[in-house]
Chains A and B, each alone.
Chain A
Amino acid sequence: MAKSTSQTIHWRRRLSNGVALGAITAAALVVTVPLFLILGTVVYRGLPALSWTFLTKSTLVGSGNIGDGMANAIVGSVEILALASIVGVPLGIGAGIFLAEYGRNKMGNVVRFTADVLNGVPSIVIGMTAWALVVVPQKHYSLLAGSVALGIMMVPTISRTTEEVLLLVPQSIREAAWGLGIPHWRTTLSVIVPTASSGIITSIMLAFARIAGETAPLMFTAFGNQFWNLRLNQPAAALPLQIFTYANSPYDEAHAQAWTGALVLITIIMATIILFRWIASRSTIKGAS
C-alpha cells in the first residue's frame, strides 16, 4: 500500500493491463476475419458463373439437372420484397408515429412491448403463421403468402426506429407549428415526418436489408418455383430459396450456381446498406440513424 503512491506501477498490474488490452484488441480483429472470409469466398466462387445468361435465363431451361440462370428467382424476390414493403412500410411507419406522438401512456407501452415481441419471434415461426393464415385458406402456396410473412417482419424494425427518429425532432418545431394553429395531424404529417424523413428512410432500408435474405419464412409460403411466375396466387421462386435448394443438391453445377446466386443476393443487400448509410450521413438530424 505504501508503494501505491510512488510513480511506478507494479509489474504484475502492468502485465495484466497489457495482456487484457492485447486480448481485447485481438478479439476485435478476430471478429472481422469471418466477414472477409465469407465475402471473399462468395466473390471467388460466385464470380466465374456470373454472366448475362445467369441473370436472364430461368432455373428451368438448361441442360442436365439445373438451369442456366436464376432470373425467375431474382424477379420473384424483387416482387416478393416489393409487396412485403407495401404491407410492412405503412404499418411500421403508422405504428412508429403512434408510439412517438400518442404513445406516452400505457397503450404505448403495450404496443412497444408487442413490437419487441414480434421482433424476437423466429422468422420460421412467422413463416408458419403466414402458412396457416394465407396458404391454408387458399389451399396452395403463393407469392402473396411469402410477401405477407416478410411484410410482418418489417413492421417492428420500422416502427421502433421511426419512433426514435420522430422523438429526435425538437419539441420547439412542434410548438411552432401548433402556435401557427396547424392541427396536430397536419403538424405530424407535414412538419414532423418530413423533418425526420431521412431517419425513416434509414429504418425502411434497415428492415429491407433484414428481410431481403430471409429464407425460412418463404419455405412454406412462396415455396419456390422452377417456372416464371408473376401472379400473386401462385408459388414463386426467390433468390434465397433457390440458393438453399442448390446448396443441398448433389451436383457441382448446382453448387456453382448457388455461389453466384449468393453473390447477387449479397450485392443487393450490401448496396442497400451502403445507400442507407450514405443517406443517414446526410441526415438533417445528426444521430438520427
Chain B
Amino acid sequence: MYTVPKSRTPRDPQEKAGVVSAEGAPADSSSLEVVSKNRLPLKESFFGDAAFRSVIIACVLALVAVVGLIFFELISSSHLAASKFGLKFLIRSVWDPVAEDFGALPFIYGTLVSSLVALVIAVPLSLGTALFLTEICPRRIRPILSLLVELLAAIPSVIYGLWAIFVMAPFLRKYVEPVLGKYLGWTGLFTGPKYGYGMLAAGVILAIMILPIISSITREVITAVPRQQREAALALGATKWEMLRISVLRNARAGILGAIILGLGRAFGETMAVTMVIGNRAEISKSLFAPGYSLASSIANEFSEAVGAVYQSSLMECALILFAITLVVNALAGLLVWSITRGTPSRAIG
C-alpha cells in the first residue's frame, strides 16, 4: 500500500484537479479533514463521473444501435420480396430480373459448397500450422512463422481476387483440374469443361483466406490446455504425437470445432475474391468445375444495377439470409471457443 503511490507518481504527472488540496495543503488539520471527510474529490467527481459515464454509455448505445439498425434495415428492406415469394425464396432456383421472379437457392448452394470446399482444404493445414507453432516449432523461428501467417490475414480480399483471376485460376485449369478430372472424375464432382473459374477456384481461394483465422484461434485453444495434461501423457510413455492426440487435441476439440466454424462464418461472408473467380452463374451443378454464384457475390454484382423494387428487395433478402447464417454460425463458434478458453486470459482476435 505504501509503495503504490511511489511507483505511480512518475507515470502520471497531471494530478492537479482532484488532489491539489490534499497534497498542497500545508496544515495538518486541513489535509486530515480532506482525507477523513473525502468531501472535495467526491463533490467534483460526482459531475465528472456522471458526464464521463454518459459519454461512454452514448458510445455503447451507438454500437448497439448500429447493430439494431442493420437488423431493422435488412428486415424492412427485404419485406417486399419476403411477402411476395414467402419461404419459397429459399428453395426456388429461379433468378429472372426481367420477369421479377426470384429464388435464392443457387446462391445459398454456392455459398455453402464453396465454403465447404474451403474447409476441406483449410482445416488440416491450419490445424497442422497451429500444432507446429505451439508444440514443435523451435523458439527462434516461432515469431517469424506466426508473423507470416498473420500477414496472410492482412492481404486485402480484392488482392486475393486479383491473384486468383490471373495466377491461380489458369494454374488450376492447366494443371490441377485435368488431374482431378482424370482420377476423381467418377465421383461426379470433377467433371465437365475446365474453365479454371468456378466453385473449385472459389473454394481454394477461400481456403487460403480462412487459414489464418482458424489457425490463430486453434493456437489460442491449444495454449489453453493445461500443461499437466501433456506432462501426464508424456510420463505414461506417450510419443510426442500420441501426447498431442490424447491430451492436446482431445481436450481442445470443442474449441477447435469452434475455430473451424468461425472460419466457416468468414468464408460465408467473403465477397470480393469469390465474386472474381466463382464464375457468377446462377445455376446448381454437381461438378465443382462448373461456375456458380454465392449470396455475397450476387449482391456485389447486381445490387448497384438492380432496378425495380422487387429486384432490390430480393437482393436485400439475400443479405438478410447471409446475416442470419453468419450470426448463428458465429454465435455457435463463440460458445465453443469460450468453453475452452474461459479460464485463461484471452488474446486479441484480429
Binds B, one of A56-64, A66-74, A78-86, A114-122: A114-122
User: Are A185 and B159 touching (Cβ within 8 A)?
Assistant: no
Please name all residues of chain A whose beta carbon is closer than 8 Å to the beta carbon of B147 when the two chains form the complex. 277
User: Are B165 and A289 touching (Cβ within 8 A)?
Assistant: no
User: Are A186 and B18 touching (Cβ within 8 A)?
Assistant: yes
**Min CB–CB distance B34 → chain A (angstroms):** 7
Instruction: Give the size range of A's interface with the partner.
Output: 35 or more
Please name all residues of chain B whose beta carbon is closer than 8 Å to the beta carbon of A121 when the two chains form the complex. 67, 70, 269, 323, 326-327
A163 to B327, CA, bound (A): 22
Q: Which 7 A-B pairs have the closest CB atoms?
A: A213-B156, A27-B128, A122-B269, A94-B59, A183-B45, A185-B52, A120-B330
User: Are A17 and B241 touching (Cβ within 8 A)?
Assistant: yes
6 further contact pairs, Cβ within 8 A, besides A124-B296, A220-B303, A269-B156: A32-B145, A159-B63, A219-B304, A243-B159, A244-B158, A273-B154
User: Are B63 and A28 touching (Cβ within 8 A)?
Assistant: no
**Is B96 among interface residues, defined by CB-CB distance under 8 A?**
no
User: Are A124 and B271 touching (Cβ within 8 A)?
Assistant: yes
Please name all residues of chain B whose beta carbon is closer than 8 Å to the beta carbon of A273 when the two chains form the complex. 150-151, 154
Secondary structure of the A contact surface, majority rule: helix
User: Are B12 and A194 touching (Cβ within 8 A)?
Assistant: yes
B interface with A by C-beta (< 8 Å): 1, 4-5, 7-8, 11-12, 14-15, 17-19, 22-23, 34-35, 38, 40-41, 44-45, 48-49, 51-53, 55-60, 62-64, 66-67, 69-70, 73-74, 77, 124-129, 131-133, 136-137, 145, 147-152, 154-163, 165-167, 208, 211, 215, 237, 239-242, 244-245, 265, 268-272, 276, 296, 299-300, 303-304, 316, 319, 322-323, 326-327, 329-331, 334, 346-350
User: Are B156 and A219 touching (Cβ within 8 A)?
Assistant: no
Cβ 8 A contact of A31, one of B156, B211, B239, B241: B211
| A-B pairs with beta carbons under 8 Å apart, 7 shown | A35-B152, A114-B63, A122-B271, A124-B296, A215-B156, A247-B158, A265-B159
**Is A283 among interface residues, defined by CB-CB distance under 8 A?**
no
User: Are B125 and A30 touching (Cβ within 8 A)?
Assistant: yes
Cβ 8 A contact of B19, one of A20, A180, A243: A180
Residue of B nearest to A141 (CB): B304
**Min CB–CB distance B344 → chain A (angstroms):** 12
A38 to B160, CA, bound (A): 8
User: Are A126 and B70 touching (Cβ within 8 A)?
Assistant: yes
Please name all residues of chain A whose beta carbon is closer than 8 Å to the beta carbon of B272 when the two chains form the complex. 215-216, 240, 244
A102 to B323, CA, bound (A): 29
Residue of B nearest to A148 (CB): B66
**Min CB–CB distance A83 → chain B (angstroms):** 16
A123 to B349, CA, bound (A): 17
Please name all residues of chain A whose beta carbon is closer than 8 Å to the beta carbon of B239 when the two chains form the complex. 9, 13-14, 16-17
Supposing A91-B63, A122-B326 touch, asked if A161 and B319 sit within 8 A by C-beta, the answer is no
